[in-house]
Structure 1
Amino acid sequence: MKRLLYLLHRWVGIALCLLMALWFLSGMVMLYVGYPKLTQDELMRGLPVLSADGCCVGLPEALQASGLPQASQWRLTSVAGQPRYVFNDGRTGFAAVDARSGQRIDSVGGDQALASARHFAQGAPGRLLGAVAEDAWTHSRALDGHRPLLRVALDDAQQRWLYVSSTTGEVVRDASATERRWGWVGAWLHWLYMLRGGPLNGWWTDIVIGLSLAGSVLALSGLLVGVWRWRFRGRYRNGSRSPYLGKMARWHHVTGLIAGTLALTWVLSGLFSMNPWKVFEVSGPRPDRLAYAGGPLQPEQAPAPATVLRQLAADGQRPRILEWRRVAGDHVVLVQTATGQFLVDAQGRTLPPLPPSALVAAAGTLLPGARILEQQWLQGYDRYYYSREQHTMTGQRERPLPALRLRFDDAQAHWVVLDPVTGSIVQISNSRQRTERWLFAFLHSFDLPQLLAARPAWDAWMLSFSVAGLTLCLTGVVLGWRRLWKKVRFFDASGGKR
């Protein structure tokens, strides 16, 4: 049995040690440079203040022109400094309408994309690099409704590439030179994105799951072998507790005993991030967001944009985006500015935070038949509700405070977090998703709020265990290469016979 385990560890290690080393190396890079994304702060800096002057055609007219009569998301934003409606069906269907003329934007060409990007970059010079269906920095499925993307290279301090939607004309992603350079040895390498966008694209998920599973087998077998081979009592003839005479083999053995458990939990957590075999999905009814809102948006009842913009200007507000919503059945507008977001009514007057009673009443429609067991006001972050830095994988998620968390008694044990300022559902989780939070997020990045706040101690910990894992894998690479080289030399010396 032990012999088979030794052989398993040896040959799986020869096959995977280099990949494992690259995973640890790229993970260290991702601590500080993430995959490119357009953050909320970047978006707000790139958009001008919306004005009521010459704006806008009515929502019913714009919605009809869009060709998306069932659109569930309505926004008023700017493209190249001009107001533009953007409608979305909640999936990948997008349509844009000129907010002044009421004409649908059928397509966006190179000149329009260049104008949009330059205005977004506040006049920085740029050049059109052409259209791309998908490249190394645009693998996100959230961009599918905007493809092909028109890529513009800016001559600014960050040497950014801006990606412009060919459907709406909006800038939907930016990638700085730093993100692109470090991304090749960071997120692109870590997530095996070299397999995306090509003939293996359809197999990418299965390949990553398979390699992660094999890496887990490698780490577990190595940990068992390492413990079996270590003399906890007494010593080997060489005077050491490790039987290996060579420095590289001994380094591999000792490092494996020190970092083997972390290596195992780290690669396992990477496996769980892929939700293999859908283990974190639950059956049963899902929360009904439309019921929580109070029904679909109705164009005739929606606040008029001109009225809202005039009142906001009178109040000294500087809106960048208006988004129409229903909150507890009422038609309101979510106003996004450079400093925050808030709700206004049909006259453009700022609404106070929703009282707990209104939030609880609306939330009672999310899961018919389920009761709310507990209400908890979150004044600070805890182990299930917390924010991450914007460059991280989940950094774009908004986690406002204070927030109201409700716990339901349904079979899936749902928790729902609501923002009283906007009425938004900020977070929905069930029991399996909260288990995933520990098996993936915690084991992969030790992301408890208390630990994240203890920097640079958190950085030192993450880098130390990553270096230990990298050392373990690199010593395995050297040992594997030596083993293969001996096999090749023996094979040649025996004239091709074993």
Structure 2
Amino acid sequence: MAPLGKRLRRWLYLGHRWLGILTCLLFAVWFVSGVVMMYVGFPRLTDAERRAALPPITWDRVAVEPEDAVGRTGLERGTVRRLDLAMLDAEPVYRVTPWKGPHLTISATDGRVVAATSVEQALATARHHPAAGPVTNLGLVERDQWTVPQRFNPLRPFHLIALGDAADTHLYISAVTGEIALDTNWHERFWNWFGAVPHWIYFTPLRSQLDLWRDVVLWLSGLGIVGAVTGMTVGVIRVRLRRRYARGAVTPYRGWMAWHHLGGLVAGTALVTFIASGWISMNPNRWFSSREPDQAALSRYEGGYDTRPPLDRAVLTASCPQATEARFTRFDGQAQTLLSCADNRVTTCCGASATLSLERIVIAAGRLLPDHPRPEIDLLTAEDLYWYSHHRERQLPVLRVRFTDAAETWFHIDPKTGEILSRIDRSNRVYRWLFNALHSFDFMFLTQHRPIWDILVLILSIGGLLISISGAVIAWRRLKMMMR
């Protein structure tokens, strides 16, 4: 067995060497960009930012009822996922989001389909933004570095408008619906080239092809895992704590090789943890289910269709003066309206909300999974391990609805409006520990006591960077020797 053992050990060394040559520089980029992402995230538009840029709804100009607006689209009732009313500059419009297909915009003044948004309308929309200065049209954009994700597909192309403010904010206004889809500023655009873009390998030509991008990240991170694990194995084999090498050294190497060996022994576990959890983030083999409730479950929860009463404009105005957006929903078969107020408060009005109670929510929640026993309901007034804020605010209080189905599905529901905020099952909770906990270290005792979290993640990242840089130097020297 001795010759076989030597052969296996040689293949172990050679495998680690070549995997290191292929991946060490990429590892270094991942650690540096990960530190940047701790403080600058990929550009996104929050609901609060979007609503702040909307002018108040002019209710006296709303002449078309919500059901009539949906009827103008030709869509059946059950195919509409979301219906909103907001302003397109000076004109109130309905924005219809179906479960499948393009988003549609219907004028609330005369019911016509707004097929496209002009440059002039986009500029006028941008002028309502609280940071707006002398706005400028930068052209029509189909897809660029910041709008590359597929979720923007129903809204493409975009009018790119510069606000002319000190932050050099750019708005992406859908040429299809006229709504603001994204905002970016100079700070985000600059730092993301050192953060999310290299970290996620988010280059537009690659990321625009979702399946190809996913496969590239899975294979690169998978090779990285093998390279890191073989490196830790070699490191343990070569270290001597008792029968030491010359001059009492625990490593047979010197210079960059010694740094790589000792750094791997100290920080190798962190390196494997970061890379393996990053691989998990790509949902290999589709192990983790979607967090979105499916269409059938939502339809059962909302209840049967009931004819919506005519809009009571006086009541709507009194409920939320200067409302910037109205969302028309159903709860327990009855229509209700969620109003976004100018102070960023969301209030319910007119319909099911008048008699909304915990008992009604429990009954409606039971229809989400009707073939299973009545769920357990908890009112969360503080964050827990699965409903917490880290880089994103979580609403409190919230109802947690727990089913005893095979997937152990939970729903989080807004007790004031009845809206379903999230769905998670056992696979999502496992994902929370395999990715979020191991990749971002978002343990509550750390994230709630910053800068302890920052210091820990920075130390681990520096350890991983030391391994990566020393490996890259060794790889470069090896390649130079081979090319001679």
Q: 2:437 aligns with which of 437, 442, 467?
A: 442
2:308: which partner in 1? 302
Q: What is the SS of the residue equivalent to 2:246?
A: coil
Aligned length: 471
Partner of 2:323: 319
Q: 1:125 to 1:195 in 2, by over 3 A?
A: closer
Shift of 1:56: 3.2
Residue 330 of structure 1: which of 334, 345, 348 is its match? 334
Q: What amino acid is aligned across from residue 223 of structure 1 in structure 2?
A: M
TM-score (norm 2): 0.92
Aligned mates of 1:261, 1:422 — CA distance in 2 = 45
Secondary structure at the aligned position of 1:288 is classed as helix
Choose from 377, 399, 402 the match for 2:397: 402
Q: Choose the corresponding residue for 1:49, options 56, 60, 68.
A: 56
CA change 1:405–1:123 in 2 (3 A) is closer
Conserved 8 A contact 1:342-1:351: no
- Deviation track 1:245-275 (CA, whole Å, cap 9, x = no partner) reads 2x21111111111111111011111111110
What residue is the counterpart of 2:285 in the other structure? 277
Among 141, 146, 149, the residue aligned to 2:158? 149
Q: In structure 1, which of residues 131, 139, 158 is the aligned counterpart of residue 140 of structure 2?
A: 131
Residue aligning to 2:250: 241
Q: Provide the secondary structure at the position in 2 that maps to 1:264.
A: helix
SS at match of 1:152: strand
CA 140–310 in structure 1, closer or farther in 2 if over 3 Å, else same: farther
Contact 1:135 1:197 in 2 (8 A): no
Measured after TM superposition, the shift of residue 200 of structure 1 is 5.7
Distance 1:421 1:350 in 2: 8
**Aligned positions of 1:72-91 closer than 5 A:** 72-91=81-100
Match of residue 496 from structure 1: none
TM-score (norm 1): 0.90
> Following the alignment from structure 2 to structure 1, what is the Cα–Cα distance between the partners of residues 272 and 191?
26
- Is 1:103 the counterpart of 2:103? The answer is no
Structure 2: state its 5+ residue gaps: 1-7
Alignment RMSD? 2.1
Contact 2:148 / 2:204 at 8 angstroms: preserved in 1?
no
Q: 1:495 maps to what in 2?
A: none
Q: In structure 2, how many angstroms separate the alpha carbons of the residues matched to 1:238 and 1:339?
A: 68
What amino acid is aligned across from residue 308 of structure 2 in structure 1?
A: A
Deviation of 1:150 (Å):
1.6
- Which runs of structure 2 are paired with 1:250-399 in the superposition (5 Å)? 250-281=258-289, 288-296=297-305, 301-305=307-311, 307=312, 309-315=313-319, 317-337=321-341, 338-346=343-351, 351=354, 354-372=356-374, 374-389=376-391, 395=392, 399=394
Secondary structure in 2 matching 1:38: coil
- Choose the corresponding residue for 1:38, options 45, 62, 77: 45
Which amino acid in 1 is paired with 2:280? F
In structure 2, give the amino acid aligned to 1:15.
L
Deviation of 1:63 (Å): 2.1
Aligned with residue 430 of structure 1, among 420, 425, 430: 425
Checking the alignment, whether the CA contact within 8 Å between 2:232 and 2:268 is kept in structure 1 is yes
Q: Alpha-carbon deviations, 1:353-393, whole Å to 9, x = none?
A: x432211111111112111353222111111111222xxxx
Identify if the C-alpha distance between structure 1 residues 124 and 101 changes in structure 2 by more than 3 Å, giving closer, same or farther: farther
Q: Does the 8 Å contact 2:150/2:208 carry over to 1?
A: no
Q: Does structure 2 retain, via aligned residues, the 8 Å contact 1:399–1:426?
A: no
CA distance in 1, matches of 2:399, 2:28: 43
Q: Distance in 2 between matches of 1:303 and 1:219?
A: 63
Tell me, yes or no, if the aligned pair for 2:89 and 2:125 is still in contact at 8 Å: yes
Higher deviation after alignment, 251-260 or 285-294: 285-294
Alpha-carbon distance in 2 for matches of 1:197, 1:112: 33
